[in-house]
């Protein structure tokens, strides 16, 4: 009897990707085959994203495509919390489950395509680190679910609930398995990495018999022991974030902080109900850079938030000039169904949002270009992601996969994805660096 086959469509953010990996690991362990072909699959699982309305529309389209191509579809992920919306559009879906409901998804798969009971889980070859959807040499490490904040533009807490930290022993165990399986870079993710452990009062857990506090700093120190790159995402500028800067300066974790500032104007930040905002952020950035001059700061911003005046927007541009961030993404505000910010007065007209977005991007591009140009002539470590006909493409400590720039590397020797090489930088542009392996 052959193994039942499952098709899998994974949409959304890195956090959703981690959910997909866990579901796939479980199914594979039970003897299911994973197929990239709709026609070949006994059932198709669609892991959806419900973060903003355009993502919901994309999720509904993906469900529609799977129904048209295969007909037997299970929906999971963030959009699963809106079961009635999904069933209105696609009444034939077999089951709808929400984010992190791994057991329910797996149960729905069992019903739609019963497992082959002759399968022997201890004999079948499942890599201990699970089935990865990312390249083998980097992996996302999810340390908590949910969020205790209530930012007015965000509906994640209503979808995912309050913060629940994973036990530190589990996180360390997963990191160890990933490193043993060849992962060279761990990307620590959550909704709020700096809040790790708040829900359990930072209690100590155990890993390999050693006590470690459930806290971002102690986690960072422990992860440093694996000797691979550790990159922190979604950190808010709480005072204790200062503690990880020396770890970065000592080369224990990557000198990289992804802090979603979203705005700089105190009034707009208040309307956004952003956590950990204080008007001394610029002074702290300056101090961090004094301690760790190689620190890369990445952030995202929203322009055209309801009520944003031209003066407040200009304040943001001035702040950007001072902050000199390295990597920046920017969104034009768009209402998300269910978000409190929709009730705010003085919506910014679309053409003004577009005009501010254009100005913001031009302003930041000049800053990024200048900061990258300062790297020309230096030697840096580069992790190779892929090889194409022109050479190798990799990333430095300053570049997270998918969202930041690349380093294009020429080399006289043959390079492979996952190689770590020393590169002399000889050119730069707005986003990327160019160099020669040495």
- The residue within the footprint of ligand SF4, chosen from 157, 167, 307, 417 (CB under 6 A), is 157
- Which of 173, 163, 229 is closest to 196 using CA atoms? 163
Between residues 192 and 404, which has the closer beta carbon with respect to ligand SF4?
192
Cα–Cα distance measured from residue 36 to residue 8, given in angstroms and rounded to the nearest whole number = 7
Residues near ligand SF4 (CB under 6 A), total = 10
**Contact of 150 with 157, CB cutoff 8 Å:** yes
Q: Write the burial class of residue 254 (CB in 10 Å: 0-12 exposed, 13-18 middle, 19+ buried).
A: buried
Cα–Cα distance measured from residue 420 to residue 432, given in angstroms and rounded to the nearest whole number = 18
Shortest Å, Cβ 151 to ligand SF4: 3
**Is position 13 annotated in a ligand binding site?**
yes
With CB under 6 A as the contact rule, which of the stretches 100-108, 143-151, 293-301, 427-435 interacts with ligand SF4?
A: 143-151
Cα–Cα distance measured from residue 100 to residue 234, given in angstroms and rounded to the nearest whole number = 19
149 touches ligand SF4 (CB under 6 A): yes
Shortest Å, Cβ 146 to ligand SF4: 8
With CB under 6 A as the contact rule, which of the stretches 154-162, 182-190, 327-335, 378-386 interacts with ligand SF4?
A: 154-162
Give me 168's structure tokens.
């530190």
Neighbouring C-alpha atoms within 13 Å toward the C-beta of 308 = 29
In angstroms, what is the C-alpha Rg of the chain?
Answer: 23
- Which of 356, 148, 157, 159 is closest to 268 using CA atoms? 356
With CB under 6 A as the contact rule, which of the stretches 90-98, 153-161, 225-233, 368-376 interacts with ligand SF4?
A: 153-161
**Contact of 260 with 237, CB cutoff 8 Å:** no
**Is position 154 annotated in a ligand binding site?**
yes
Shortest Å, Cβ 306 to ligand SF4: 16
106 touches ligand SF4 (CB under 6 A): no
**Is position 292 annotated in a ligand binding site?**
no
Between residues 191 and 218, which has the closer beta carbon with respect to ligand SF4?
191
Between residues 13 and 291, which has the closer beta carbon with respect to ligand SF4?
13
Q: How many residues does the chain have?
A: 438
DSSP string, 118-140: T--TTTS---TT---SS-TTEEE
Between residues 261 and 357, which has the closer beta carbon with respect to ligand SF4?
261
Question: CA angle, corner 74, sides to 68 and 75, nearest 5?
Answer: 100
Cα–Cα distance measured from residue 372 to residue 428, given in angstroms and rounded to the nearest whole number = 6
Shortest Å, Cβ 156 to ligand SF4: 4
Between residues 157 and 169, which has the closer beta carbon with respect to ligand SF4?
157
- The residue within the footprint of ligand SF4, chosen from 9, 17, 73, 156 (CB under 6 A), is 156
Between residues 157 and 335, which has the closer beta carbon with respect to ligand SF4?
157
Report the interface residues with ligand SF4, using CB under 6 A: 147, 149-151, 154, 156-157, 191-192, 275
Annotated binding residues, as ranges? 13, 49, 78, 147, 151, 154
């Amino acid at each position: 009897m052959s193994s039942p086959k499952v098709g899998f469509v994974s949409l959304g953010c890195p956090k959703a990707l981690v959910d997909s990996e866990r579901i796939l690991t479980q199914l594979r362990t039970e003897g299911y085959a994973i197929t990239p072909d709709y026609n070949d699959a006994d059932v198709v699982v669609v892991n959806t994203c419900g973060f903003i309305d355009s993502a919901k529309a994309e999720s509904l389209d993906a469900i529609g495509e799977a129904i048209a191509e295969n007909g037997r579809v299970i929906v999971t992920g963030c959009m699963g919390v809106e079961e009635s919306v999904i069933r209105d559009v696609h009444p034939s879906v077999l089951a709808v489950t929400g984010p992190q409901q791994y057991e329910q998804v797996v149960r729905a798969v069992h019903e739609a395509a019963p497992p082959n009971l002759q399968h022997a889980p201890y004999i079948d070859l499942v890599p201990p680190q699970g089935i990865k959807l990312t390249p083998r040499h980097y992996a996302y490490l999810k340390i908590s679910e949910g969020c205790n904040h209530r930012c007015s533009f965000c509906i994640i807490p209503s979808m995912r609930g309050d913060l629940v930290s994973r036990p530190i022993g589990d996180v360390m165990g997963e990191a160890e398995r990933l490193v043993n399986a060849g992962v060279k870079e761990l990307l620590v993710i959550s909704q709020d990495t700096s809040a790790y452990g708040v829900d359990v009062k930072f209690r100590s857990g155990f890993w390999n018999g050693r006590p470690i506090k459930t806290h971002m700093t102690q986690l960072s120190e422990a992860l440093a022991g694996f000797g691979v790159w550790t990159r922190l995402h979604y950190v808010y500028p709480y005072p204790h974030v200062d503690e990880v800067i020396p770890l970065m300066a000592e080369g224990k974790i990557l000198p990289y902080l992804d802090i979603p500032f979203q705005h700089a104007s105190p009034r707009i930040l208040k309307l956004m109900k952003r956590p950990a905002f204080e008007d001394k952020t610029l002074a702290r950035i300056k101090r961090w850079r004094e301690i760790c001059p190689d620190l890369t700061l990445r952030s995202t911003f929203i322009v055209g938030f309801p009520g944003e005046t031209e003066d407040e927007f200009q304040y943001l541009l001035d702040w950007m000039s001072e902050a000199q961030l390295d990597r920046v993404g920017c969104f034009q505000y768009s209402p998300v169904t269910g978000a409190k910010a929709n009730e705010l007065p003085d919506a910014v007209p679309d053409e003004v949002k577009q005009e501010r977005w254009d100005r913001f991007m031009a302003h930041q591009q000049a800053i990024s270009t200048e900061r990258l140009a300062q790297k020309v002539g230096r030697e840096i470590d580069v992790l190779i992601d892929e090889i194409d006909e022109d050479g190798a493409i990799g990333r430095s400590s300053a570049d997270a996969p998918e969202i930041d720039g690349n380093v294009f590397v020429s080399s006289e020797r043959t390079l492979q994805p996952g190689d770590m090489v020393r590169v002399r930088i000889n050119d730069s542009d707005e986003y990327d660096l160019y160099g020669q392996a040495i």
